């Protein structure tokens, strides 16, 4: 599971939407309080995250997926983006929606 862990500061000014790629393949946009589930095989992947503030804030993250990797938080920061393998559901997870269900 990959979720957008944007804090209230990015949510208020509408800069929290994250466009995400894995190995240069777009997996789409994850808005605040959204998640998606992707089945990735064990191995190394390059995650790219982009959010738009006054300029494009793009970052690349090397991630190793193994049988213990369950939950990844991606969040915009004031200067870039942050990716953390948390393996914990976000607080108030019941308020999150699956990205494909937003329409």
How is the chain split into domains, by residue range?
2-98
18-49 pLDDT, tens digit each? 999 999 999 999 999 999 999 999 999 999 99
Mean pLDDT of the chain: 90
Global confidence as pTM? 0.89
Nearest to 15 by CA among 52, 50, 49: 52
CATH number assigned to the domain with residue range 2-98, chosen from the 4 options 2.60.40, 1.10.3470, 3.10.450, 3.30.1360: 2.60.40
Assigned token pair, 28: 């789409």
Q: How far apart are CA 77 and CA 96, in angstroms?
A: 20
> What value does the mean pLDDT take over residues 6-17?
73
Res 16 pLDDT > 80: yes
Residue 12 has a pLDDT of: 64
């Amino acid at each position: 599971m990959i979720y957008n862990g944007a804090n209230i500061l990015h949510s208020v000014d509408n800069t929290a939407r994250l466009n995400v790629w894995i190995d240069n393949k777009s997996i789409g946009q994850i808005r605040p309080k959204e998640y998606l589930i992707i089945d990735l095989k064990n191995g190394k992947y390059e995650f790219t995250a982009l959010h738009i503030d006054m300029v494009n804030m793009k970052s690349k993250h090397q991630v190793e997926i193994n049988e213990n990797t369950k939950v990844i938080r991606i969040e915009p920061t004031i200067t870039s983006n942050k990716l953390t393998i948390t393996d914990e559901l976000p607080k108030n997870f019941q308020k999150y929606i699956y990205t494909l269900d937003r329409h």
